Amino acid sequence: MINSATRWTSAALRALVRDNEVHRAVYTDPEIFNLEMSRLFRSTWVFVGHDSQIPNAGDYFTTSVGAEPIVMVRQADGGVSVLINRCAHKGVRLVSEGSGNLGRFIRCPYHAWTYGTDGALQNIPLRDGYDGTGFEATEARLGLASAGAVAVYRGFVFCRLSGEGVAFHDYFGESLSTLDNMVDRAPAGRLEVAGGMLRYMHPCNWKMLAENQTDACHPMVAHESSAGTTVRIWGEQPEGTPKPMAVEQFAPFVGTYKFFDNMGIRIWPNGHGHTGVSDSIHAAYSVIPGYQEAMVAAYGQERTARILGEVRHNTMYFPNIMVKGPIQTLRVFKPLAADRTLVESWTFRLVGAPDLLLERTCMYNRLINSPGSIVGHDDLEVYERAQQGLQSGLREWVNLGRLFQPGEGASPAEVVRGTSEAQMRNQFRAWLRFMSATEEAAS
């Protein structure tokens, strides 16, 4: 493989991640960003899409995994392929629309090489021009590259770009219980992606978003001006005014430190973890008429209570998605450059549930995660300022030490206080392992 020389040896990378601090270079250095693309985002299991987006043979959805342009395709046998969206001839991006149906083959718009929906090279115009040229020994003969491994878990499609590495269930382990809970909330036991996703560009490193998902010391501070104002205005309304859904969603953002601390955080291996072990900002939403009844009809009283009693807040799946089961949203933090991240917020319909639930999901995404959100701007501003502040070379370290305990991360699932930064440290332990593994395997 042709590889550019790098000063970031495994030893150099190890020096960037301490027990309770990380070096600013992990957020700012373009070479480290490139290494993340070629190591971390190739060797971990990364979210691609949802199988409800491609119900029929030939249906596709285009996206990216790390730096790779991707097209996810439904095959005639019902399987899902994850292909690299790049012509084997001169590299043209083959599929340009966001979604659609490929028909029976993919045809390149440049010289009309064609590929099966599985990526195999089918035809080349004037093919005899390659006879006796050594074409059979070239990479082009192989057609489109594809992900090394694909897994569809309860409708969620993940891939590992690399042909070798950790198996899907070993990588996610018990953290899959969050996806289970979100799907189990559908009386029909199935989710559908509802509409498109909201896209929001962030001028910061993708890991700042990943850390923020379990940062329970920021909402009451960073969101004071937005959610705090909502609460104040709501407090001025005459007694007996029905509480709007928007107030229900904004208000918990300015909960107390004690509230967020009591929520707890559960930490799993490989960088995964979630807030909201015993309570969360989603725990006190009002009842949706007809939903409980539909759930009980599908699952019975006891199981319904277990499913809806789970109040998980943010589940961070390392490296770059966050799932909110009780509100049926998923956010993807797409890394574009060391200081540029595209955030996508997805909404899901619980099949068999009343429409009002989807309305709540859409409202949450609009109010909290969209470019028009007042809460989202609070976070955007602090990320942007952090990216700017980290340009300073006179302070080198970012502190992640809150409630650090020597030996943490040794057991498979730990529950810690909600205001702990243990999940951020968990992510960096995984980061270091997957960033160093490729070089160590090669040496």
Q: Which residues bind ligand FES (CB under 6 A)?
A: 87, 89-90, 92, 108, 110-111, 113
Q: Which is nearer to ligand FES, 110 or 397 (CB)?
A: 110
Q: Smaller CB distance to ligand FES: residue 56 or 133?
A: 133
DSSP 113: -
d(CA 1, CA 26): 25
Q: Which does 385 bind (CB under 5 to 8 A by kind): Fe ion, ligand FES, none?
A: none
DSSP string, 207-255: HHHHHHTT-TTSHHHHTTTTHHHHHHHHHTSPTTPPPPHHHHHHGGGG-
Q: Where are the alpha helices (DSSP H) in 21-109?
A: 25-28, 30-35, 41-43
CB of 37 to ligand FES, least distance (A): 23
Taking the C-alpha atoms of residue 332 and residue 346, their distance in angstroms, rounded to an integer, is 8
Q: How far is the CB of 312 from Fe ion (least distance, A)?
A: 17
Give min distance, CB of 125 to ligand FES, in A. Answer: 9
Between 179 and 208, CB nearer to Fe ion:
208
Q: Whole-angstrom Cα distance, residue 204 to residue 340?
A: 5
The answer to whether 43 touches 437, Cβ cutoff 8 Å, is yes
DSSP assigned state of 395:
S
111 touches, from ligand FES, Fe ion, none (C-beta below 5 to 8 Å by class): ligand FES
Choose the one of ligand FES, Fe ion, none that binds residue 303, judging by a C-beta under 5 to 8 angstroms depending on kind.
Answer: none
Which residues are 309's β-sheet partners?
none
Q: Which is nearer to Fe ion, 46 or 227 (CB)?
A: 227
Closest separation in Å from C-beta 399 to Fe ion: 19
User: Nearest CA to 182 among 193, 195, 166, 197?
Assistant: 193
**CA pair distance 73, 118, nearest whole angstrom:** 8
Residues near Fe ion (CB under 5 A) are 379
Q: Residue 390 touches which of ligand FES, Fe ion, none (CB < 5 to 8 A by kind)?
A: none
What tokens does 336 get? 């574009």
CB of 215 to Fe ion, least distance (A): 7
Nearer to Fe ion, 310 or 379 (CB): 379
Q: What gap in Å lies between CA 26 and CA 28, rounded to an integer?
A: 6
Q: Are 157 and 332 in contact (CB under 8 A)?
A: no
Residue closer to ligand FES, measured from CB, 90 or 258:
90
90 binds, among ligand FES, Fe ion, none (CB under 5 to 8 A by kind): ligand FES
Return the one option of Fe ion, ligand FES, none that residue 379 interacts with (CB less than 5 to 8 A, by type). Fe ion
Residue 104 or 169 with smaller CB distance to ligand FES: 104
Which of the choices Fe ion, ligand FES, none does residue 115 contact, using the CB cut-off of 5 to 8 A by kind?
none
Q: Are 318 and 304 in contact (CB under 8 A)?
A: no
Q: Residue 165, Cβ neighbours under 10 Å: how many?
A: 19
113 binds, among Fe ion, ligand FES, none (CB under 5 to 8 A by kind): ligand FES
Q: What are the tokens at 65?
A: 């995994």
CB-based contact 363:249 (threshold 8 Å):
yes
Q: How many Å apart are CA 429 and CA 435, to the nearest integer?
A: 10
Name which of 108 and 227 has its Cβ closer to ligand FES. 108
